[in-house]
Amino acid sequence: MRNSTMSRRALLRAAGAATIVAACAPVTTQPGATQTGTTATTKPAGATGTLTFLWGGDTDKLDPPAMTTQEGFIATTALYEGLVRYKPNSTDVEPALAERMPDISSDGLAYTFHLRSGIKFHDGSPLTAEAVAFSFDRSINKDNPLFKEAQAAGGFPFIDDYIGNVVAKVEAVGALDVRFTLRRKFSPLVPNLAIPPGFVISMEALKKYGSKINENPVGTGPFKFVEWKKDDHITVENFDGYWGDRAKLQRIIFQPVPEASVRILKIQRGEGDIAWPFDPKDASSVKGKADTDVLEQPGLNVNMAEFNLKKAQFQNKPLRQALNYAINKQELADKLYSGAGVPAVGVLPATSWGFDSTLKGYTYDPEKAKALLKDAKYGGETITLDSYTIPRGYNPQGAKLAEAVQQYFQAVGVKSEIKTTEWTEYRKIRRQGELNVAFGGWQADTGDPENFLGVFFYSKNQGGVNTSFYGTPEVDKLLEQANEETDTPKRKALFNQAEAKIVDDAPWLFISHMKQQVAIRKRVKDFVLQPTYIYYFNKVSVS
């Protein structure tokens, strides 16, 4: 009997062990592979494969005007569309939901878009001028009940900068004609409509879900929403009712992987197809390999430090210029940023259509720096370098940049001390004008130079994003003219004049632009980088 009991136990143990071993057998996880347990879906003709896009953190929201993260911008671009969109790898826009570029009234205050006919949202409702007006009214009309409802969930932080401040109303003036009435002339409006705050949301879905549209996105994009498990994944699926050329992918899975090194390991091992962002130091481990590569180009960003012009110490132009000459930007780009940096000549990166190739800026010249320090009557006072603690997209090295700059200053005889502050607090006291030489930067949302020069150097933005507290009547006037002018070459000339004046005044330490880098598996075809990081997945496929 005893023997019998023991043998039964042994048998159970063996059976249990076998079950666990069988259960723990790895599931095939190569992206795109068929997996047991996946939701049964109808596969649209010609759409195949799953693309897995890895990023660092999850988006905060999926409601286009409410989001604050780049991840949200990327994911919603698969789901939603605007009246216009960016051309491939360009900051120029072309019609999307609109059939053609808008008709602009002679006074420049009314933009009328004619919509394409026959477009349907993912919920089957038609795209009409009324639906477009409803979607915009919800995000810019502060009396709209849906606007008010959204405030409890955080509201719409960005829309005013791009659309809300200048657009008085959006109305349907025909079944497929929608008119934007402006308070003042504002040329950047059209490109601003290409970014997520300008995406059109289904009217029916907004009426049904209200602010819960965040968890139930309904747009007209080439992919429709499947699910969002927060901090785990967002899944979107080919929309078989898409009005344009159908997307080639069956699914896209956006997956947060907090550890940058693990994102790269996952690309190497085939557990992901595209990883963004990652540490530039890891680029060599995937660049030009048999199965993986790195796509890169100059980014639409700037990495800098602001002189606080409210403080007497920095109201000294020769001192600011001297400190600019003291920094070896090329060395920073090559060594601190492992080759992923591009020295900054001025404010605008080369990817901006407003870039001025004739601008000279401040090349590394310690002797000139010393001469200017004499002109500035620098008497050995300590300069405080204020730095944030965390890595940023435009400065992946965080506070190490301040340490490097301190050494350059020391080399020309300038004493400095570094003060680091937690990021949220840093942003608060920077806006209050309490910092000194404050490191910072910017990733542009749109390709318009206004999105760099206007936000940082227009005097009315002081204490907002303009935290160098720079403002001159001359630059203000040039920026206002550039915003009103509709002719692009003339706008560029105005922006170039404004930038030349700004660079000469040196309210910043102009440091670098970070390259946009994406680690990618070679099985992914036709993925195109976009200066604004608003990637279009319509033509992307996996082999």
Partner 1 sequence: MRGYIVRRIAYVLPVLLGVVTVVFLALRLIPGDPAIALAGEKASAEQIEQMREALGLNRPLPVQYVEFIGRLASGDLGRSIRTGGDIRQELIENFAPTIELSIAALLIALAVGLPAGILAALRRRTPIEYGTMIGSLVGISMPVFWIGLMLIYWLGARAAWFPLSGTASAGLDIPARTHFYTIDGLLTGDFTVFGDVLWHLVLPAITLSTITMAIVSRMARSSMLEVLGSDYLVTARAKGLSARTVVLRHALKNALIPVVTVIGLQLGALLSGAVLTETVFGRVGVGRYVLNAITARDYPVVQATVIVVALFVVVISLVVDLVYAILDPRIRYA
Name the phi and psi angles at 39, rounded to 5.
-65, 135
- Nearest CB to partner 1, comparing residues 64 and 126: 64
| Alpha carbons 416 and 520: distance in angstroms, whole number | 42
| One of 76, 268, 328, 351 touching partner 1 (CB under 8 A) | 268
Residues in region 476-535 near partner 1 by CB under 8 A: none
Interface with partner 1 includes 39 (CB under 8 A)? yes
- Nearest CB to partner 1, comparing residues 35 and 105: 35
Interface with partner 1 includes 271 (CB under 8 A)? yes
Kindly indicate which of the ranges 210-218, 341-349, 406-414, 525-533 contains the residues binding partner 1, using the contact rule CB under 8 A. 210-218
- Nearest CB to partner 1, comparing residues 63 and 293: 63
| Alpha carbons 273 and 267: distance in angstroms, whole number | 6
Residues in region 114-173 near partner 1 by CB under 8 A: 151-155, 157-158, 160-161
- Nearest CB to partner 1, comparing residues 146 and 322: 146
Closest contact distance (angstroms) between CB of 202 and partner 1 is 19
Q: At 81, list the tokens.
A: 């569309």
Q: Angle 27-29-31 (CA atoms, 0-180°, nearest 5)? A: 155
Kindly indicate which of the ranges 109-117, 265-273, 275-283, 374-382 contains the residues binding partner 1, using the contact rule CB under 8 A. 265-273
Binding mask 52-91 for partner 1 (x = CB under 8 A): x----xx-xx-x--x-x-----------------------
Residues in region 343-372 near partner 1 by CB under 8 A: none
| One of 421, 483, 497, 517 touching partner 1 (CB under 8 A) | 421
Residues in region 369-398 near partner 1 by CB under 8 A: none
C-alpha dist (Å) from residue 132 to 114, 135, 150, 151: 11, 5, 18, 21
| Count of residues of this chain found to bind partner 1 when the rule CB under 8 A is applied | 71
| Alpha carbons 182 and 177: distance in angstroms, whole number | 16
Q: Which among 77, 74, 96 is positioned nearest to 85, based on CA atoms?
A: 96
Residues with Cβ within 8 Å of residue 19, at least 6 apart in sequence: none
- Nearest CB to partner 1, comparing residues 157 and 174: 157
Q: Which among 241, 87, 116 is positioned nearest to 178, based on CA atoms?
A: 116
- Nearest CB to partner 1, comparing residues 50 and 303: 50
| Alpha carbons 471 and 449: distance in angstroms, whole number | 17
| One of 232, 375, 504, 526 touching partner 1 (CB under 8 A) | 232
Q: Which helix (H) or strand (E) holds 428?
A: helix 423-431
Count CB-CB contacts under 10 A for residue 201: 27
